[in-house]
Amino acid sequence: MEFEIWWLLCIPVFFGLGWIAARVDIKQLLSESRSLPRGYFKGLNFLLNEQPDKAIDAFIEIVKLDPETADLHFALGNLFRRRGETERAIRMHQNLLLRPDLPQEQQIQARYELGQDFLKAGLLDRAEDVFKNLTETQYNTTARRALLEIFQREKEWEQAIHAAEALQDSGAGSRQKEIAQFYCEMAQDQLINTHPEKAMPLLERALKVDRLNVRATILLGDALIAQGRVDDAIATWRRIEKQSMPHIVLVAQRLMDAYLKTERSKEGISLLKSYLAEASSIDLLEVVFQALIKYENVEAANTLVLDELKRTPTLLGLDKLLEARMMIASPEARQDLSMVKNLVHGYASKLARYQCDHCGFQARQFYWQCPGCHLWETYPPRRTEELNLSA
């Protein structure tokens, strides 16, 4: 019993000590807050109320009165950059770097912020120089990411590969997908310049880095076609079946054209019909539809579209069905069908877009790199109407 009473007597003592400590902390906080300029709280209040213009004016006044305030320089520079006033942001961070008494840690921070200013302003060469000097600092990972972005924007693909490999080696995650795409970009440039023999080793490296890279397989087939190796190209494009069946639509027309060159149109149509049965696709349907009309008959095309429409009812499919029906309809019926088709086509064309999985950016053509968020391989090879049906 005596032990319990002893501890009860200690409670007021502990309470008193806590009260004294709290009073000391409050006095210290009040003394520190009195040392801050009134404009600081005024600017902070403007920021909290989402009034950046007034906040900037308040902070500028403080900087004029106390030029040594580094933290406010950083705050102002970031505000200017967010507002798109990159020239003012650059001046703010450059002024900081001119101070001889600036601690090394803040010097590094100022260089990093200056690099971000240059990047935002599109001064890529100057941004590159800044970030290269930050790769051995605490900003190593973010600086390497910035360098990777710069090299991609400049289309310096070899440097982008080295930057991605360095970023990967630093423990920032795998960059295999991007590296393979950079090799594809280099190979595509060679194909455009009619150098398929130079493109092929680049594509082989891309596939070595990422064996599931569909784009590399597509371009490898293109290089073989450019060299007159049609059968090899067909065999290469057919590898996409194992890489990603939905992406087979991207080479459907190439495959059909290659089979036509070897006078095997029926074999080509049969292959594409088997793909369509396995992976329903509006774009694939279009290729098979046109091939049937040209090399078989309209009735076969009509039957194909009707069966596909029953399996996957879409406006884009209905548009194809109406096109087929118009070809076999009487002149009187054709006029009515034409009116309905025009109406359906108008709505269907709005749904015939590809959409980025990451940012939602829509485009009429397929992109390997999204024009919106600039990420790689974020476009599914299916139109938005098909995606909505499968969702």
In the prediction, which pLDDT does 26 show? 39
In the prediction, which pLDDT does 7 show? 47
Residue count (the chain) = 391
Mean of pLDDT over the chain: 81
**CA 220 to CA 223: how far, in whole Å?**
5
Query: Tens digit of pLDDT for each residue in 163-182?
Result: 999 988 888 888 999 999 99
Phi, psi at 376, each rounded to 5°: -95, 145
* Token pair listed for 103: 């601690």
Residue with tokens 């029906």: 325
Q: What is the pTM of this model?
A: 0.77
**CA 183 to CA 207: how far, in whole Å?**
9
**CA 323 to CA 342: how far, in whole Å?**
10
What are the Cα distances from residue 354, in Å, to 121, 313, 349? 30, 18, 12
Residue with tokens 């935002």: 120
Q: What CA dihedral angle connects 195, 247, 212 and 191, to 10 degrees?
A: 10
Residue 64 CB neighbours (<10 A) = 9
Query: Tens digit of pLDDT for each residue in 69-120?
Result: 667 777 778 878 888 888 888 887 888 788 787 788 888 988 999 999 999 9
> 363: which DSSP letter?
E
Cα 21–chain centre separation: 53
What are the Cα distances from residue 377, in Å, to 86, 184, 298, 372, 374? 31, 13, 37, 12, 10
Residue 82 CB neighbours (<10 A) = 11
Cα 330–chain centre separation: 50
* Token pair listed for 191: 């194909």
* Token pair listed for 166: 């360095």
In the prediction, which pLDDT does 260 show? 93
The answer to whether the annotation marks 10 as part of a ligand binding site is no
What are the Cα distances from residue 64, in Å, to 43, 68, 71, 72, 73? 14, 9, 14, 11, 11
**CA 158 to CA 166: how far, in whole Å?**
13
Residue with tokens 């912020």: 113
* Token pair listed for 314: 């879409």
Give the residue among 210, 207, 261 at the shortest CA–CA distance from 236.
Answer: 207
Tell me if 164 sits within 8 A of 175, measured CB to CB. yes
Amino acid letter, 197: E
Residues 6+ apart with CB under 8 A from 305: 285, 289, 317, 320, 321, 324
Tell me if 40 sits within 8 A of 60, measured CB to CB. no
SS3 per residue for 130-194: HHHCCCCCCCHHHHHHHHHHHHHHCCCHHHHHHHHHHHHHCCCCCCHHHHHHHHHHHHHHHHHCC
The answer to whether the annotation marks 184 as part of a ligand binding site is no
**CA 320 to CA 385: how far, in whole Å?**
15
Intervals of the chain under pLDDT 50? 1-3, 6-10, 13-14, 16-17, 19-36, 39, 41, 63-65, 67
Angle between helices 265-278 and 282-295 (to 10 degrees): 150
Q: Beta partners for 355?
A: 362
Tell me if 361 sits within 8 A of 355, measured CB to CB. yes
Task: Break the chain down into helix, strand, coil percent, rounded to 5.
Answer: 75, 0, 25
Residue ranges per domain, the chain? 276-352, 354-391
